[in-house]
Structure 1
Amino acid sequence: MSTRFEGRTAIVTGASRGIGLAIAERLVADGARVVITGRGQEALDEAVATLGGPAHALGVAGKADDAAHRADTVRQAIATFGSADLLVNNTGINPTSGPMIELDLDVARKVVEVNCIAALAWAQEVHAAWTKEHGGAIVNVSSVAGVKPAPGIGIYGASKAMLISITELLAVELGPGVRVNAVAPAVVKTKFATALYEGREAEVSAQYPLKRLGEPDDIGSVVSFLLSGDAAWMTGQTLVVDGGVTLTGGVE
């Protein structure tokens, strides 16, 4: 346990499991109270118990791209814990695969809506309710697929590249009171990424200089750093957390 975030409240979207939950766990360990979101209340309740119960965490169910859900989450964060200092936009979807030229455009619109527009909307909501007056920090969870092309998951990668651009623009607009950074993971061992390594983990891991896939905690620690005063002179940056795989030409 540390006190790096003592007296501060973080909202982490898409945090009932996987990377989002690992981020929330690290923030609680570092002294924050966290408000986590996800689509199912039962899964959120289980995650809250994992995080130490209602003294440390609150779960608010809803869809990230729903305006009423966003407003209610921020309202509950402030009402329950007294602030909304930190935001982690972790929610992301990747419902399709295959060539971009064959992509269903309605699917493309949904991916951009959830991965990009909703992230911007969360930042707007938190800013209006808290950080405009009090300051704070934001971390957007992008992907190495947003740093270099990732054939087969093209619209997902394109949306994550857009999220990096949003990160940079918000950093310019919101400084000095609010810092905005991003993290770009490679393959992390979560249910979301299972299709990228299931049944061939050894083969995929061999592409990585560190010879393993990521674990959710590998991302949680970097996000905690970016939100903290240890990163006080960093804004608009995207930290690639990839086990070195982009050095060898891959994104898996």
Structure 2
Amino acid sequence: MTGRFTGRTAVVTGASRGIGLGIAQRLVDEGAKVVVTARKQEALDEAVASLGGPEHALGVAGKADDPDHQAETVKRAVEAFGSLDFLVNNAGINPIFGPLVEVDLAAVRKIIEVNCVAALSWVQQAHQAWMGEHGGAVVNVGSGTSLRPAPGMGVYGSSKALLTYLTRELAVELGPSVRVNEVAPAVVKTRFAAPLYEGREEEVAAAYPLKRLGVPEDIGSVVAFLLSEDAGWLTGQQLVVDGGVTLTGVG
């Protein structure tokens, strides 16, 4: 790896496993110090160990939509590593599946709270604590389900569509010192997405021009690009990382 993030610090939410951990690993591999969040400290301790230990990473447990947890995480990042240059909003939930006319509206509100409002709040916290004065870069993790109707996943897709709009608006408001972009994955092989492919992976992957599902490393490399100076003239963009499946009209 290049070491292009040496001396930089990132907060990655929802990063005890899956895509979030894959992103954190790529950033550490390129020299960054990383603060990872999730709900359970034990899972975070395992993640920190896999990232190389406290010299490279710090785990702060809490709920992604808790403002006190957000403030504590941001504060500890700056105290531990001296800056907060990057924020990756990866935490997200999707506890419901079914037609919109039948969904529990309380669950809808919770999905919007975690997937959208919390992401905005994390940006506010990072901006107030560091980025407003020093600059930085933000990547929001969206979803390919936001690109077209996704029966059964309409609430989740809608929340990610709102996240895309927030990404663009923040890019306009926070430029030039802070860049804000989004990565929108299709199905990535994680516990979160397992119901979409488990037991029929070959069948699902057949619809992808690249004939495989994603893995966390596929997303980590793109997020690293968006955070880096190689993407220095990119802001407000949604990069779809989907093995080409949206070209087929299936994903």
**What TM-score comes out, normalization by structure 1 length?**
0.99
**Mapping for residues 1-252 of structure 1, pairs under 5 Å:** 1-251=1-251
Deviations 1:156-175 (A, max 9, x none): 00000000000000000000
Q: CA deviation at 1:149?
A: 1.4
In 2, the alpha carbon distance for the partners of 1:2 and 1:11 equals: 20
In 1, the alpha carbon distance for the partners of 2:93 and 2:146 equals: 14
Structure 2 counterpart SS, 1:63:
coil
How many residue pairs are counted as aligned between the two chains?
Answer: 251
Unaligned runs of 5+ in 1: none
User: Where has structure 1 moved over 6 Å in runs of 4 or more?
Assistant: none
In 2, the alpha carbon distance for the partners of 1:7 and 1:147 equals: 36
Deviations 1:79-118 (A, max 9, x none): 0000011000000000000101111100000000000000
Structure 2 counterpart SS, 1:64:
coil
Letter in 1 for 2:106: D
In 1, the alpha carbon distance for the partners of 2:150 and 2:179 equals: 28
In 2, the alpha carbon distance for the partners of 1:149 and 1:218 equals: 24
**What TM-score comes out, normalization by structure 2 length?**
0.99
Q: CA deviation at 1:2?
A: 2.1
Deviations 1:120-160 (A, max 9, x none): 00000000000000000000000001121111111000000
Identity percentage of aligned residues: 69
Letter in 2 for 1:31: G
Unaligned runs of 5+ in 2: none
Structure 1 counterpart SS, 2:22:
helix
Letter in 1 for 2:62: G
In 1, the alpha carbon distance for the partners of 2:201 and 2:155 equals: 24
Letter in 1 for 2:27: L
In 2, the alpha carbon distance for the partners of 1:229 and 1:170 equals: 19
Deviations 1:18-45 (A, max 9, x none): 0000000000001100000000000000
